[in-house]
């Protein structure tokens, strides 16, 4: 069971937001969180340039919800709907990541480092860089062409850092 599935199961979330083919995450108008069920009947389309109210403060004294960015007092109903919308997006993102990882493991690329290196080399505008000196590593540099014993490498690295 993947981490996303474990997180959903631990939170007691029913998987009715996974309505697409092959368990693909699809945003729905109904979300279940344990015994809580929230259904949205319509959605608000905000005008361009309008504050998105991404940082809010809940004031328990007076039951006030206030946007930290623009200072506007928000409707608690709207804030709940906003939370549900972003919660659904987060669950969908976890599900997509879980599906990508499952697909990569099925294709035989189970090492995450190999996937990261492959993604770095496929970039058309960027090249990977050395994590130690920060210099770019071009394909003509022969990345992976030479190797060093792991124990020797770790001793040299510790000596450079003064850890030995």
- Do 116 and 129 belong to one domain? yes
What band does 22 get if pLDDT is binned at 50, 70 and 90? very low
What does the alpha-carbon distance between residue 18 and residue 28 come to, in Å, rounded to a whole number? Answer: 9
Residue 28: pLDDT band (50, 70, 90) is low
Task: Kindly tell me if the per-residue pLDDT of 47 is higher than 70.
Answer: no
Identify the pLDDT of residue 93.
94
Rounded average pLDDT over 126-130: 82
pLDDT for 150 equals 86
Residues 95 and 125 grouped into a single domain: no
Whole-structure pTM value: 0.42
Both 35 and 96 in one domain: the answer is: yes
Q: Is the pLDDT of residue 98 over 90?
A: yes
Domain boundary, last residue among 71, 87, 110: 110
Q: Do the domain assignments include residue 154?
A: yes
Same domain, residue pair 88 and 19: yes
pLDDT band at 106 (very low <50, low <70, confident <90, very high): confident
Last residue of one domain, picked from the residues 92, 110, 128? 110
Q: How many domains does the chain have?
A: 2
What's the rounded Cα separation, in Å, for the pair 87 and 93?
10
Adjacent-strand bridge partners of 59 = 64
Instruction: Confirm whether 72 is domain-assigned.
Output: no
More confident residue, 47 or 95: 95
**Whether 23 and 5 share a structural domain:** yes
23 lies in some domain: yes
From 94, 110, 126, the end of a domain falls on 110
The continuous run of DSSP H or E covering 95 comes out as: helix 76-106
**Domain shared by 136 and 164, yes or no:** yes
Domain of 157 in residue numbering reads as 111-164
Average pLDDT over residues 125-142: 80
* 92 vs 16: CA distance, rounded Å: 11
Residues 126 and 98 occupy one common structural domain = no
pLDDT of residue 95: 93
């Amino acid at each position: 069971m993947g981490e996303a599935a474990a997180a959903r199961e631990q939170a007691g979330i029913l998987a009715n937001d996974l309505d697409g083919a092959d368990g693909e995450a699809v945003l729905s108008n109904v979300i279940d969180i344990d015994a809580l069920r929230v259904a949205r009947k319509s959605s608000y389309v905000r005008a361009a340039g309008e504050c998105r109210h991404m940082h809010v403060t809940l004031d328990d004294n007076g039951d006030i919800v206030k946007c930290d960015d623009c200072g506007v007092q928000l409707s608690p109903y709207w804030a709940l709907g906003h939370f549900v919308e972003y919660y659904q997006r987060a669950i969908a993102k976890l599900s997509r990541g879980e599906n990508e990882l499952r697909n990569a493991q099925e294709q035989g690329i189970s090492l995450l480092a190999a996937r990261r290196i492959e993604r770095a080399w496929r970039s058309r505008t960027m090249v990977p860089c050395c994590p130690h000196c920060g210099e770019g590593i071009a394909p003509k540099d022969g990345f992976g062409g030479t190797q060093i014993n792991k124990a020797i490498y770790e001793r040299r690295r510790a000596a450079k850092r003064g850890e030995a």
